[in-house]
Structure 1
Amino acid sequence: MINIQRLIKQLAFVGLTASLVGVSAYSNAGESGYYEGQDGYDYAIVTGVTPIYNDIQVVEPRTQCWDQTVTYQQPSPAGAIIGGLIGAAVGRDAARGYRHGRGHHRHYHRGNKGAGTLAGAAVGAMIGSAVSRHNAPVQYGTQQRCQVVEEFSTRRELVGYDVNYRYNGQEYLIRTDRHPGDRIRVRVDVTPVL
């Protein structure tokens, strides 16, 4: 016949052993519920992830153009030509010679005819062009103006994540370069107390 007391004792022993193994495994796994064994690593539960950005100011040169109304006077070429001819005649006459002195002693000086004619023509052409420009009608036109300007913009750059996690009832914070998900691997160091 089966001894009921003995069977109860055996069942109690098996139940107690199973309970102790379960409690031991839970305490080794910590709060995370994950356990990888005796290699010194475990997983902790991630409680918060905050992306960290760095604002970078970028300067880019840009050409900016616009149309601007301008006024101008177009001198007629006839004014410069007529002024040049008059100036050449005056310069030629001046280069022929001039008299100076009083009474019976008059001296004649001869200059360089070519240089005088050329100088007179140049001065006459400048005067003729200025008179012609002054008398010319005012005209309006559009001209494109451009300048290089520096354009500032701000660009956000992701530099990492601040990760809050909990392991064995303690809260921790670490910065990582990528999003960890819902759990993060941690190194576990067990040191005996003597």
Structure 2
Amino acid sequence: MQLYKQLIAGMAVAALVGLSSTANAGPQGYAADGYDYARVTEVIPVYTDVQVITPTTQCRDEQVAYRAPTSPAGTVVGGLIGAAIGNNLGDHGHRGRHHSHHRGGATVAGALVGALVGNQISRANAPVHYATESRCQVVDQYSTRRELVGYDVRYRYNGQVYLTRTDHHPGDRIRVRVAVSPAP
């Protein structure tokens, strides 16, 4: 009887262990994923170079020459002289009434040419003034900036070495997902 009780107790323990392992194995006999921590052996920061364009205003001082405004006297005097010359040229060699339009055209043409010449002489003789002006332009300045994009992390778990990239420094240990399934 003693043997019978031990046999029943042993079968009950085996049934409980079998039931417990089936419940932990999850659906279709596969274990659910779990998490653990692995020891970090190396952390290498990863950078990238980013080109930055900054518009800046650059100015320089420049000396500029200005002519004083001309008075209309040169234009008027030149026009009068030109008109007189044109009138004499238009009148030269033409006698009588039917050629009077030649004199008027020559007088107007002489006045125009004389006014232009008088204006140019007046401008050429005008005093020159110098001033310093600031000339500015926008210029793009290029620079390179290094940006941290993540960390290459080497870690050891169950005797194996792994490498991953993270966006933050993991410290001395890194959380890993552990999946267990039955061997074939």
Is TM (by shorter chain) over 0.5?
Answer: yes
TM-superposed CA distance for 1:74, in Å, is 3.1
Instruction: Quote the Cα distance in structure 1 between the aligned partners of 2:135 and 2:145.
Output: 31
**Of 107-116 and 141-150, the range deviating more from structure 2:** 107-116
Amino acid at match of 1:126: N
8 A contact 2:149–2:167 mirrored in 1: yes
The aligned residue for residue 19 of structure 2 is none
8 A contact 1:46–1:183 mirrored in 2: yes
Identity among equivalent pairs (%):
49
> TM-score when scaled to structure 1?
0.62
Instruction: Quote the Cα distance in structure 2 between the aligned partners of 1:99 and 1:65.
Output: 62
The aligned residue for residue 63 of structure 1 is 57
Instruction: Quote the Cα distance in structure 2 between the aligned partners of 1:69 and 1:117.
Output: 39
TM-superposed CA distance for 1:152, in Å, is 0.5
TM-superposed CA distance for 1:81, in Å, is 2.9
**Of 158-167 and 83-92, the range deviating more from structure 2:** 83-92
The aligned residue for residue 74 of structure 2 is 83
Provide the aligned length of Structure 1 versus Structure 2: 150
Deviations 1:167-189 (A, max 9, x none): 01111110011222221111112
Deviations 1:77-135 (A, max 9, x none): 3xx4332122221243225871354899x9542325995576256414422323313xx
Which has the larger share of helix?
A: 2
**Of 121-130 and 150-159, the range deviating more from structure 2:** 121-130
> Which of 42, 66, 83 is equivalent to 1:92?
83
1:132 equivalent in alignment to 2:125: yes
> TM-score when scaled to structure 2?
0.65
Q: What pairs up with 1:1-194 in 2 under 5 angstroms?
A: 39-70=33-64, 72=65, 74-75=67-68, 77=70, 80-93=71-84, 94=86, 98-101=90-93, 107-108=99-100, 109-111=102-104, 115-116=108-109, 119-120=112-113, 122-133=115-126, 136=127, 139-194=129-184
- 1:191 counterpart SS class: coil
Distance 1:73 1:58, change over 3 A: closer
The aligned residue for residue 12 of structure 1 is none
RMSD, aligned α-carbons? 3.3
Instruction: Quote the Cα distance in structure 1 between the aligned partners of 2:93 and 2:157.
Output: 121
